[in-house]
């Protein structure tokens, strides 16, 4: 399957979330993070990043909350283990173009693999030393149901840490 999900982007967003790649359920539904067992939407609401719990079909409402969505790799797969290095070949360049053209406040990678694919570095969760066109980069735990090793409270702690970063004045 090679379908793509449309990016949800606009100028001057608070943060652009960068997923690893679209899964089959998301590609079939036509919405990001559409697997009902994926915690992404619940974590956004529970961390106060959105004003209410959104359904994947309401993804365009993220823009009203100052948030956007894209993926490090565009190819649809059953699982991220099917991705190859070539799937991430243009990720850093694409994200840098988003930073230059749309001026988001930050980028949040939903999973270490999204960040590693884009930059070829293994990150820890949290704020990274690297910036992209002067924008901070933050790595969140994967919200995929396959990431059961990280419990929900730990994922929520990371999402709340991101929310605090986004609320800080930049200067």
Residue numbers of the domain that contains 132 = 15-167
pLDDT per position as a tens digit, 58-102: 999 999 999 999 999 876 667 667 777 887 889 999 999 999 999
Q: What's the pLDDT at 1?
A: 40
CA distance 137 to 131: 6
Q: What's the pLDDT at 2?
A: 43
| Spans in the chain with pLDDT lower than 50 | 1-2
Burial of 161 by CB count in 10 Å (0-12 exposed, 13-18 middle, 19+ buried)? middle
Q: What's the pLDDT at 80?
A: 67
Q: Per the domain annotation, does 7 fall within a domain?
A: no
Q: What is the CATH number of the domain that holds 32?
A: 3.40.470.10
Q: Per the domain annotation, does 43 fall within a domain?
A: yes
Q: What's the pLDDT at 77?
A: 67
Q: Per the domain annotation, does 5 fall within a domain?
A: no
Q: What's the pLDDT at 20?
A: 82
DSSP 20: S
Q: Per the domain annotation, does 2 fall within a domain?
A: no
Q: Per the domain annotation, does 103 fall within a domain?
A: yes
For residue 119, give the H/E element and its range. Answer: helix 112-119
State the total domains in the chain. 1
Q: What's the pLDDT at 3?
A: 55
- For residues 41 and 57, the answer to whether their CB atoms sit within 8 Å is no
Q: Per the domain annotation, does 3 fall within a domain?
A: no
Full-model pTM: 0.93
Q: Per the domain annotation, does 10 fall within a domain?
A: no
Cβ contacts of residue 156 below 8 Å, gap of 6+? 43, 46, 47
Q: Per the domain annotation, does 9 fall within a domain?
A: no
């Amino acid at each position: 399957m090679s379908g793509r999900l449309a990016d949800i982007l606009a100028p001057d967003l608070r943060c652009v979330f960068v997923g690893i790649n679209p899964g089959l359920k998301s590609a079939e539904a036509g919405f990001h993070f559409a697997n009902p067992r994926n915690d992404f939407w619940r974590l956004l609401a529970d961390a106060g990043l959105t004003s209410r719990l959104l359904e994947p079909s309401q993804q365009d409402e993220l823009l009203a909350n100052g948030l956007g969505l894209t993926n490090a790799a565009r190819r649809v797969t059953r699982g991220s283990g099917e991705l190859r290095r070539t799937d991430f070949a243009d990720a850093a360049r694409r994200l840098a173009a988003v930073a230059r053209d749309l001026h988001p406040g930050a980028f949040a990678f939903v999973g270490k693999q999204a960040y590693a694919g884009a930059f070829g570095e293994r990150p820890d969760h949290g704020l990274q030393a690297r910036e992209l066109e002067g924008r901070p980069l933050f790595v969140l735990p994967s919200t995929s149901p396959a990431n059961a090793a990280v419990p929900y409270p730990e994922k929520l702690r990371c999402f709340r840490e991101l929310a605090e970063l986004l609320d800080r004045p930049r200067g």
